[in-house]
Amino acid sequence: MKKVFPVIPVSPVVKFFLPCLLLLSAAAHADPVQSLKDFFNTTQSMRAQFHQTVLDAKGRKLQEVNGVMQLQRPGKFRWDYHEPYLQIIVGDGKKVWLHDPELNQVTVRRLDQVLGSSPAALLAGTAEFDKTFEVKNDTRQDNLDWVEVTPKATDSGFRNMLLGFSQGQLAEMQLHDNFGQTTVIEFSKLERNPKLAPGQFKFVPPAGADVVGE
């Protein structure tokens, strides 16, 4: 199966990953936009299982994968892809590491190069995210309450992102990139503010690995 990762403007290797770093929950029955704002004041850590699907511009499935994510604000995160292949992505607060065990390859970039006007800035930033993004409630009719996030910068690499809440807690995320692809992430067994081991956010390249980047 072809490997596809979440979209960021700085690296095609991890282009579908970092948008996935904005994982949040909020008080029950909250306004979706207010739920997003509450995240910055009430959520310092998170752990959840995820199911990710990537679709092309015609709605055809390009990739489907399961895994577990953890995050610690500001700027620390870990995504472990378990099925159908192994992959690890770690943000240690300064750098972002992507390890492909099958290829024995590690890609590394500075965290400040990955942020900016990307969805990842919502995770590592402050409650003043509305200076970088336009945020509004979405009016679609289904069983979720949606908020739309659109970057103000034209070179962000994605058109918009939709966050769907169920009873005040994030249930689904949809990212629409500039190439017509859509990344859908569904969350389950979400834990808000768990105590996470600091070692989860440290990464040392395995012996013999081919390290690409900085």
Distance CA 171, CA 185 (A): 8
Q: What are the per-10-residue average pLDDT scores of the chain (214 residues)? A: 44 44 41 74 86 93 92 85 87 90 91 61 56 81 85 78 80 88 92 93 93 86
Q: How high is the pLDDT of residue 213?
A: 87
Asked whether the beta carbons of 161 and 173 are under 8 A apart, the reply is yes
Cα gap 21→29, rounded to integer Å: 23
Stated length of the chain: 214
Burial of 145 (0-12, 13-18, 19+ CB in 10 A): buried
pLDDT of residue 125: 52
Cis peptide bond N-terminal to 119, omega within 30: no
User: In this structure, which topology does domain 12-213 adopt according to CATH?
Assistant: outer membrane lipoprotein receptor (LolB), chain A (2.50.20)
- At 163 the pLDDT is 84
Question: Residue ranges per domain, the chain?
Answer: 12-213
Segments of 34-168 assigned E as strands: 45-55, 61-72, 76-83, 87-92, 95-100, 105-110, 133-138, 145-151, 158-166
